[in-house]
Amino acid sequence: MNPGKPRILYVDDDPRQLSAFKAAFRRNYEIFIAQSAAEGKEELKKQPIDIIITDQRMPDMTGVEFLESIVKEYPDLIKILMTGYTDLKEAASAINKGKIYCYLNKPWDEVELSMILKNAYDICCTRRELKEKHAELQKTNNELEKFVYSASHDLRAPVLSIKGVINFALSQTKPKDQEYLLMIEKSINRLDVFVENIINYYQNVKLRVSPVEIRFDRMIEETWNSFNFIQNKSEIEFRSQISQEEVFKTDEFRMQVILNNLLLNAIKYQGKDNTTQRISVDIHVANNMATVSVSDTGIGIEPEHLDKIFNMFYRATQEKPGSGLGLYIVREAVDKIDGAIAVKSVVGKGSTFTVTIPGKE
């Protein structure tokens, strides 16, 4: 076999057609022939084929039926159908069944067929190149994801150690001497949130959805208490109203990620000038559907930013520090559990994020 030549398999129950085709094109192509669909399938198993040409009218099965039967096993194969004039209507209506590149009338014209074969092989090469590039890109993406996750995971331990040391130092230091320690604590907390977001993003991409029973009252309480490290949390009035009288199941990890990020944003973007700083969580579960609303009295979001805030690394304001990952991760997590998210906001008054999630079994 000459690996430099494109390989063509021609299937036809007429030996004269097979001989004529092989004689006409063997100089530029590696030609393989078969007199039935069954023989054609055997030839496909023996060596890689670039282009397959088949007659429509054969005794065991039609050309369309033959091509349709090999679509799943050989999706990248360029397929050409040979038809008689009386078969055109049938071939045209069935063209998508076998993923056919084109069909030709018999008897075929050598010049026309030469041009079609050249174009078909160009498409074959392009598909092959795109597939290789896609595989390389997928490999690079996987390696990058693993690197980012590994680096973030390895960063988490020293970050937590530093937080522990800072807390100890603060407990041993007089309030008037704590200024620099508090600055370090603020920065390390921001880094911890950023590292945690990267880990959550990776896990959201990789972990399969595993529905378990969700008790929203417990989850809200645990999530709110986990923010005790934030200095201004004690100044915020927190209210939760939960209506859940039925068992509700969804992915616990992604539900936790959604609530964690929405509540953290509600704390972070509270307005300094507001006399009352308030966060409200309303959850209603009915008919196997959960509606979760998180409202705040924060700085709000300008209308021109509302359709962009869920984009990766997008920040709607520079007034507060952030990575632009939180809401992106929220949307990704919502998508993973087939939910939807919407936002309403008034600048200077606050925002409300509403998430609707269907229950899973």
As to burial, measured by CB atoms within 10 angstroms (0-12 exposed, 13-18 middle, 19+ buried), residue 278 is middle
How many residues belong to the chain?
361
For the packed helices 252-268 and 216-225, what is the interaxial angle rounded to 10 degrees? 50
Task: State how far the Cα of 75 lies from the Cα of 97, in Å rounded to an integer.
Answer: 12
End-to-end C-alpha distance for the chain, whole angstroms: 55
Residue 290, Cβ neighbours under 10 Å: how many?
Answer: 21
- Rounded CA-CA distance 125/242 in Å is 59
Residues 6 or more apart whose CB falls under 8 angstroms from that of 159 comprise 188, 191, 192, 195
For the entire predicted model, the pTM comes to: 0.57
C-alpha triplet 91, 95, 101: angle, nearest 5°: 115
pLDDT of the residue at 2: 45
Q: Which two tokens stand for residue 9?
A: 């398999």
Q: How much of the chain, in percent, has pLDDT values that exceed 90?
A: 40
Instruction: Judge whether 283 and 242 are in contact, CB under 8 Å.
Output: yes
Distance CA 12, CA 333 (A): 53
Residue 312: closest CA among 325, 323, 303? 325
Per-residue pLDDT, 212: 94
Q: For 135, list phi and psi in degrees, rounded to 5.
A: -65, -40
Q: What is the pLDDT along the chain (361 residues), one digit of tens a residue?
A: 445 789 999 999 999 999 999 999 999 999 999 999 999 999 999 989 999 999 988 888 888 889 888 988 988 899 998 887 555 566 665 566 657 888 888 888 899 999 999 999 999 899 889 988 988 888 887 777 777 667 776 777 788 788 888 888 888 888 888 888 888 887 887 787 778 777 777 777 778 889 999 999 999 999 998 888 777 787 889 999 999 999 999 999 999 999 999 998 898 888 766 667 899 999 999 999 999 999 999 888 888 888 888 888 777 666 665 667 889 889 999 999 999 999 999 988 899 999 999 998 7
- pLDDT at site 128: 87
Residue 356 C-beta-side C-alpha neighbours within 13 Å = 7
